[in-house]
């Protein structure tokens, strides 16, 4: 087992054993890759021939050397202590989902099966560093996984900290027991430069890191002490730790498409103002007729509608959409009131926001509903 408990300060350059080991590993990775590449270049110069497989191997060896050097540069930057972090409220769930989509083709090319279980959880962290950490975790797990890669976002019961859990098989599931036993040095196998980068970014973010190495698989758990606390029943409230404020760049739903169906101009203006900071793509229509025409070509991710327009025709529109997308998000703006109610799996299938609470509560309702169904 390899573990770093939170909070853990990044090793300083004066911590000689750590840095000697790291520098030795960087030199070894670069040296081995370039030595192999040089042998291939020498063979090419001698014979004047190289087949497609040899050319690919040469490219891969040069790329490995280049990557080791780049990781070394990144780690030096993270360890310098000069990185200025800007804590924001971020959806860990949305980030991991986007990265899984982005890296899906790479996983398929390696014949890896990806399993995911992503609970809606928000954390407080620097957006750039959190994205770098998630990518580093994917780099490390994809380069070592042999069959199955599992990613989970969970919430500990106590303390209420978000957990990012990554599990993968570093030995093929088809390997016979003798082959598994023979690989006794699995810890060294897993301690790649990509792993070193995961460690360094996590330390810079002051996150807890726990890694359990088995003969067949590895389980990495990253714990986020700055997790948005639950204030409503099963709902992540939009509340940030004292001392940190949501910045203009805190947009966990950036790119999501919302259609607003409202006849009243003042209501449309309030919705526009309430969602301005969220990075959403918001379209407005004045009637159910216009809404029907709008969704004919493509569905948005959610529809926010004025309750006065929720007649039979609008209900038929909703039923048609739900027949295609059972978990589609609808949020009703009630005629009056200053509270809001989220959807449930029981009778309350749609969220509702009071007219007087649009500015304060509509962003929270959109955050929860879109995270729940994404």
pLDDT digits (tens, 9 = 90+) for 117-141: 999 999 999 888 898 899 899 989 9
The pLDDT assigned to 159 comes to 85
Say if residue 8's pLDDT is above 60: no
Beta bridge partners of 351: 331
Beta bridge partners of 217: 169
Most confident range, picked from 187-191, 292-296, 301-305, 347-351: 301-305
Most confident range, picked from 38-47, 109-118, 205-214: 205-214
pLDDT tens per residue across span 209-224: 999 988 888 999 999 9
Strands (E), the chain: 2-4, 87-91, 113-118, 122-126, 148-155, 162-169, 208-213, 217-224, 230-232, 235-236, 257-261, 281-285, 302-306, 329-333, 340-341, 351-353
Going by their DSSP bridges, the two strands 230-232 and 235-236 should be labelled as antiparallel
Say if residue 234's pLDDT is above 70: no
The pLDDT assigned to 17 comes to 72
Residue with the larger pLDDT of the pair 91 and 249 = 91
Going by their DSSP bridges, the two strands 87-91 and 122-126 should be labelled as antiparallel
């Amino acid at each position: 087992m390899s573990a770093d408990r939170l909070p853990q300060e990044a090793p300083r350059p004066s911590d000689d054993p750590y840095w000697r080991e790291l520098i030795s590993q960087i030199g070894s990775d670069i040296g081995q890759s370039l030595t192999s590449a040089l042998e291939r270049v020498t063979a090419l110069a001698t014979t004047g021939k190289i087949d497609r497989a040899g050319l690919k191997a040469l490219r891969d060896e040069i790329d490995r050397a280049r990557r080791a050097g780049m990781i070394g540069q990144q780690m030096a930057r993270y360890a310098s202590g000069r990185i200025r972090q800007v804590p924001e409220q971020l959806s860990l769930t949305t980030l991991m989902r986007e990265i899984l989509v982005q890296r899906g083709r790479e996983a398929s090319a390696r014949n890896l099966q990806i399993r995911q279980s992503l609970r809606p959880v928000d954390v407080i962290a620097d957006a750039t560093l959190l994205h770098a950490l998630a990518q580093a975790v994917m780099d490390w797990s994809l380069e070592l996984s042999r069959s199955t890669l599992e990613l989970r976002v969970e919430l500990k019961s106590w303390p209420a900290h978000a957990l990012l859990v990554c599990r993968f098989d570093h030995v093929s599931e088809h390997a016979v027991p003798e082959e598994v036993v023979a690989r006794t040095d699995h810890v060294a196998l897993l301690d790649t430069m990509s792993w070193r980068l995961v460690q360094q970014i996590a330390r810079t973010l002051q996150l807890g890191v726990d890694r359990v190495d088995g003969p067949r698989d590895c389980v990495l758990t990253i714990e986020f002490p700055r997790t948005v606390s639950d204030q409503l029943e099963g709902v992540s409230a939009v509340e940030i730790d004292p001392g940190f404020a949501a910045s203009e760049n805190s947009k966990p739903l950036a790119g999501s498409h919302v259609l607003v169906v409202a006849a009243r101009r003042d209501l449309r203006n309030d919705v526009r103002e309430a969602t301005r900071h969220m990075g959403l793509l918001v379209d407005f229509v004045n009637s159910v007729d216009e809404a029907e025409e709008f969704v004919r070509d493509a569905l948005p991710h959610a529809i926010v509608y004025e309750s006065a327009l929720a007649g039979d025709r609008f209900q038929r529109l909703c039923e048609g959409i739900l027949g295609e997308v059972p978990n589609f998000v609808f949020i009703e703006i009630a005629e009056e009131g200053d509270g809001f109610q989220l959807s449930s799996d029981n009778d309350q299938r749609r969220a509702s926001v009071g007219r007087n609470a649009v500015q304060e509560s509509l962003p929270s309702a959109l955050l929860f509903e879109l995270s729940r169904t994404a």
